């Protein structure tokens, strides 16, 4: 995308005339204003949709004992279908308010979920929360593809991750299950990432694919980050840790295996057939397979030392550099920003982890403050350089 700096450079080099530069600057400014306006409209509309949803739910809740059951259901269902209908009219009917229409689709998805839980409560339906979340997920998923809705795609990803947690930990999170949170969500994040890649097979689903891949990437990065700490990747006492493994619920083992196998199959498909037609396809899917495979080795063959913590720390730092590299190669500033964000978090966390007990408190905070300030300046400069380079590549 052309920017003002490039236009001035072309003008100085004599590539364009003053009149051409003036016209290009006007076009660039109009485009920037339009983009900012669209983002503002989406933000305001989404906030408004959420407030409307909260208002409808609170109205029913506050009048719970007064309203007849049939009236409660009518309010919930009419609100849900009304939001979908208005969204369709604005986006596809009159086509005059497409951004507002997208926000109303999202409102309809939220109200659908609220209706499920409230109706279950009205009729005292003996349904566990994971079943209701799964019904919600299945109910909104078709609208992701019918309306090409990015917000609903993000919502469905969140519901998928919530359902996995409720399914795996259906009897509660105890000592013998808490240690496996990062492994479970790493396999789940990889599955979401790989499923996102499959969406490139269908024309028109590129934005949906990106939503799934970015959310899957963020969940995977968070899970890997947790595995860089001894608490999750190295036992404190071998006998105690072994006792926890012996009492591990079967659904955790089966869940990790199922999600990992599905992730591996989808990643191999993406690796072999490259649905996204990306030049970096082999790198990103190969690294994802490597990370997932190593984590399965860790799960089935836990070490009796801190070796896994050290390896995960090295792998995580290498993955950060890989994300920055991939972001640059693909001209994707969002991926670069994810890498830089986790670099800052990783350095900050490891500073506390390594030096808290070694340094005097005053020296600890002074040195830490200097590292963070200077590191922040360096990272921001590097991010700007990468962003400018990506802009030039896209011109």
- In order, the DSSP letters of 98-167 are HHHHHHHHHHHHHHHHHHHHHHHHHTT----HHHHHHHHHHHHHHHHHHTT-HHHHHHHHHHHHHHHHHH
Global pTM reads: 0.79
What's the mean pLDDT when you consider all of the chain? 78
Question: What's the pLDDT tens digit per position in 58-76?
Answer: 766 676 677 787 887 888 8
Euclidean distance between CA atoms 82 and 90, whole angstroms: 12
The yes-or-no verdict on residue 267 having pLDDT over 90 is yes
Greatest mean pLDDT among 59-68, 274-283, 327-336, 384-393 lies in 274-283
What's the pLDDT band for 209 if we cut at 50, 70, 90? very high
Burial letters for 153-166: b for 16+ Cβ neighbours within 10 Å, e otherwise? Answer: bbbbbebbbbbbbb
* Res 216: pLDDT: 95
> Which of 281, 253, 256 has its CA nearest to residue 267?
281
The yes-or-no verdict on residue 1 having pLDDT over 90 is no
The yes-or-no verdict on residue 46 having pLDDT over 70 is no
The yes-or-no verdict on residue 129 having pLDDT over 70 is yes
Structure-block tokens of residue 124? 């005292």
Higher pLDDT, 21 or 227: 227
The yes-or-no verdict on residue 269 having pLDDT over 80 is yes
> Which of 314, 311, 319, 349 has its CA nearest to residue 233?
311
């Amino acid at each position: 995308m052309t920017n003002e700096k490039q236009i001035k450079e072309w003008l100085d080099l004599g590539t364009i005339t003053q009149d051409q530069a003036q016209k290009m600057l006007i076009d660039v400014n109009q485009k920037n204003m339009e983009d900012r306006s669209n983002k503002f409209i989406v933000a305001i509309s989404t906030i408004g949709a959420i407030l409307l949803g909260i208002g409808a739910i609170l109205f029913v809740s506050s009048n719970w004992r007064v309203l007849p059951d049939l009236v409660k259901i009518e309010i919930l269902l009419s609100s849900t279908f009304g939001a979908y209908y208005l969204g369709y009219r604005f986006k596809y009917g009159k086509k005059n308010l497409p951004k507002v229409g997208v926000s109303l689709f999202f409102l309809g998805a939220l109200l659908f979920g609220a209706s499920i839980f409230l109706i279950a409560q009205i009729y005292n339906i003996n349904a566990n929360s994971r079943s209701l979340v799964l019904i919600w997920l299945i109910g909104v998923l078709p609208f992701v593809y019918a309306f090409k809705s990015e917000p609903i795609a993000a919502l469905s990803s969140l519901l998928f991750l919530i359902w996995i947690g409720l399914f795996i930990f259906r009897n509660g999170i105890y000592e013998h299950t808490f240690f496996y949170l990062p492994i479970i969500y790493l396999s789940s994040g990889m599955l979401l990432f790989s499923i996102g890649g499959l969406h490139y097979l269908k024309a028109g689903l590129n934005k949906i694919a990106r939503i799934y891949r970015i959310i899957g990437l963020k969940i995977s990065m968070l899970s890997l980050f947790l595995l860089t700490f001894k608490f999750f990747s190295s036992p404190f006492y071998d006998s105690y840790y072994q006792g926890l493994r012996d009492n591990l619920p079967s659904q955790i083992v089966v869940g990790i295996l199922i999600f990992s196998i599905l992730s591996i199959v989808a990643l191999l498909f993406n690796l072999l057939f490259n649905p996204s037609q990306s030049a970096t396809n082999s790198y990103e899917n190969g690294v994802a397979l490597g990370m997932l495979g190593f984590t399965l080795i860790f799960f089935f063959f836990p070490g009796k030392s801190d070796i896994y913590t050290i390896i995960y720390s090295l792998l995580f730092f290498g993955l950060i550099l890989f994300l920055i590299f991939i972001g640059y190669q693909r001209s994707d500033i969002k991926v670069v920003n994810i890498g830089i964000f986790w670099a800052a978090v990783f350095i900050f966390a490891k500073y506390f982890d390594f030096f808290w007990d070694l340094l005097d408190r005053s020296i600890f905070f002074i040195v830490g403050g200097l590292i963070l300030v200077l590191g922040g300046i360096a990272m921001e400069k590097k991010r700007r350089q990468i962003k400018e380079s990506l802009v030039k590549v896209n011109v």
